[in-house]
Structure 1
Amino acid sequence: MSRSDNDENQSVALYWDFENLHASLVDARQGEGSYNKPDGRFKAQEPLMDVQAIVELAASFGPIAINRAYCNWQYFGRYRDALLQGAVELIQLFSPGASAKNGADIKLCLDAVEDISRFGHIGTVVIVGGDSDFMPVSQKIKAAGRTLIGVGARKSTNRHWAKSCHEFRYYENLVEASAKSELPSPEAQTPGVPSEPVNSAAEIFRRAIRLLAETRGDYWVSEASIWHMMKRLDPTFDTRDHGYANFQAMVKALDSLVEIRQGDAELVVRLR
């Protein structure tokens, strides 16, 4: 979905039906219905979801103002580091019975409607989950003039819900694209050439350009927008920590990664 530069000041509200997507990934790995078996759901869950990839997708549409995940967190403690890294607000929901749903989708929908009515700066709403239960809230969000982005697993996402969004991203494609943007592992690099640290300037630079290109529907992105995107991906990022006096010096040093040309009104950049 294309975005204009006039949308830059609009913020993003990101809502996760966390267990919904996690359950889909468990079923994809262990077989259909595995998660809802007695020995599948009510136990400590292995972290299968790439939280960062989804947070980065949301950040590509603007600064994230709300990042809220709904789940019965007593079984999801192993996601702790990823959730903290993504600055996710956790909403605890206990199931009222041994086999009952925790009501995450209902609570999520109510909160989303309330938030868009209270906060005029929210321009994009991202909902992570594949249930058809989200269709009514999609109508409310679109009626309010906000952009709706959905994220869900390909096999388990209800197609009517997916089509009710302005744009829907399948989780599998999202993770695949995220993996391709990462720098090669140290083993894959040239012997004798030191590898760059995790979250290096080059890695974040590449991820920022890729996300902007995907979101705006054009390989060429404004050079000025890259810095804002990098700060969304890592608010602590400072060019000086990586040996560059400023952003322009960093772009010049990383020119092997990109092509740069003069656009209609400013410099534009694309990955080589």
Structure 2
Amino acid sequence: MNGRTNEHRIALFLDFENLVTNTGISASNFDLQPSLDRLLEKGKVVFRRAYCDWSRFNEAKMGLHRFGVELIDVPPSTRAGKNGADMRLVIDALELCYARESIDTFVIASGDSDFCPLAYKLRENGRTVIGLAVKESTSPLFVNACDEFIYLRTTRQRSEKGDKGRHGAAAEEAGHGKRGRHGRDATGKAGKAEVEKAAPSGGKGHSKTEVPEIAREVVQNLIARATGPVNPSLIKETIVRKEPDFDEREHGFPTFAKLLAALETEGVLRRIQQGRQWYVVGPDADLAGGSEAKSEGKGKKQGRGRNTEESEDELESYPDPEEDDGL
């Protein structure tokens, strides 16, 4: 019973025409599975709707029906056109927000900045908003309006990853991206694609790892204000609040634990273990007052070593004993 209380309940709204028009994803090969898998890691998707003039996208109907998506048909009126579907989506999302308090997370699958007011209103009412769209077709304004943003990978991007040994079952794969103010221009995108092609192996997409400044800044600020050890999940959540589409993989780190390990190597932080939980403290923190932290953190750190894969894997889970990790 208590477990269900902490489970996120998610509503998914798809502005379908926006996702398949000039994005590199077509209606015929659109696959919701990778995106849905990412959302199911966060909670239960209890509401699924897609909006557009379905007479134009008949080939996508069967695939969406397979995932239990309700198709809302919005035929073009005299001059409304696509805006009719947008308005219907906004009205339904707000109605659901006020009628179903149990739904705490709204996913808006679109890159259109016209949905910024909707995102602001949902967040004003205490809901978490996740954006979902193709990076090259997403407005930075909408990215900033969301709590978190997940990027869809196009057919070309998936095939490039497949050339490196990964077999993708879908035409799109969900993944975070790097916020625009750190390199959303066309040159940056082309450069990234070339680096991914040139990378020898490992699927990192970068020839070398580089700790992003936002991570270093957040860790230093949290440690400076903390009165005790800091949960790594809090660090990740704070970074995502500042950069909704932050992803450590964009900087060459396969997991967030690897990024923390790099910061430890730089001397920005020190990781300790208390029981089965890993925490982060300042590099010069005095843990003499906590016998468990001293014995578990100090001893296990020396026994296992900073860079062992075992410690990295345990760190990556970082469950919080007091609250659900959530998004």
Report the TM-score, using the length of structure 1 for normalisation.
Answer: 0.55
1:110 and 2:91 are equivalent in the alignment? yes
When residues 12 and 74 of structure 1 are mapped into structure 2, their CA distance, relative to the original with a 3 A threshold, is: same
Q: Pick from 54, 64, 72: which aligns with 2:53? A: 72
Name 1:62's counterpart in structure 2: 43
Residue 93, structure 1, aligned to residue 74, structure 2: yes
**What is the alpha-carbon distance in structure 1 between the residues aligned to residue 90 and residue 127 of structure 2?**
15
| 1:159 aligned to which of 128, 132, 140 | 140
Task: Give the C-alpha shift of residue 102 in structure 1.
Answer: 4.9
Cα distance, 1:46–1:219 mapped onto 2, change above 3 Å:
same
CA contact (8 A) 2:20 2:27 kept: no
Q: RMSD of the TM alignment (CA)?
A: 3.8
Alpha-carbon distance between aligned partners in 2 of 1:46 and 1:20, rounded to the nearest angstrom: 11
Give the unaligned 5+ runs of structure 2. 170-232, 241-246, 248-254, 258-311, 321-327
The residue type equivalent to 1:13 in the other structure is A
Cα distance in 1 for partners of 2:149, 2:83 equals: 24
Look up the match of 1:82.
Answer: 63
Determine the structure 2 residue equivalent to 1:13: 11
Matched, 1:125 2:106: yes
CA gap of 1:81–1:97, structure 2 versus 1, over 3 A, is: same
With 115-124 and 79-88 compared, the bigger mean Cα shift is at: 79-88
Aligned pairs (5 A) from 1:1-272: 8-25=6-23, 28=24, 46-97=27-78, 100-172=81-153
Deviation at 1:46, TM superposition (A): 4.5
One-letter identity of the residue aligned with 1:10: H
The alpha-carbon distance between structure 1 residues 265 and 114, as it changes in their structure 2 partners (threshold 3 A), is closer
Greater length-normalized contact order (CA 8 Å, ≥ 6 residues apart): 1
How far is 1:99 from its partner? 8.3
Percent identical: 30
Q: CA deviation at 1:87?
A: 0.9
* Deviation of 1:260 (Å): 7.8
How big is the shift at 1:130? 0.9
Cα distance, 1:46–1:141 mapped onto 2, change above 3 Å = closer
Of 76-85 and 138-147, deviating more is: 76-85
Shift of the 260–162 alpha-carbon distance from structure 1 to 2, 3 Å rule, reads: closer
Greater gyration radius = 2
CA 63–155 in structure 1, closer or farther in 2 if over 3 Å, else same: same
Q: Per the alignment, do residues 20 and 65 of structure 1 end up closer, same or farther by CA in structure 2, a change over 3 Å counting?
A: same
SS of the residue 1:170 aligns to: strand
CA gap of 1:133–1:7, structure 2 versus 1, over 3 A, is farther
1:49 match: secondary structure: coil
Per the alignment, residue 302 of structure 2 pairs with none
Query: Structure 1 unaligned runs (5+)?
Result: 30-44, 186-197, 199-212, 221-258, 267-272
Question: What is the TM-score normalised by the length of structure 2?
Answer: 0.46
Give 2:91's aligned amino acid.
Answer: L
Q: Which residue of 2 aligns with 1:193?
A: none
User: What is the Cα deviation at residue 65 of structure 1?
Assistant: 1.1
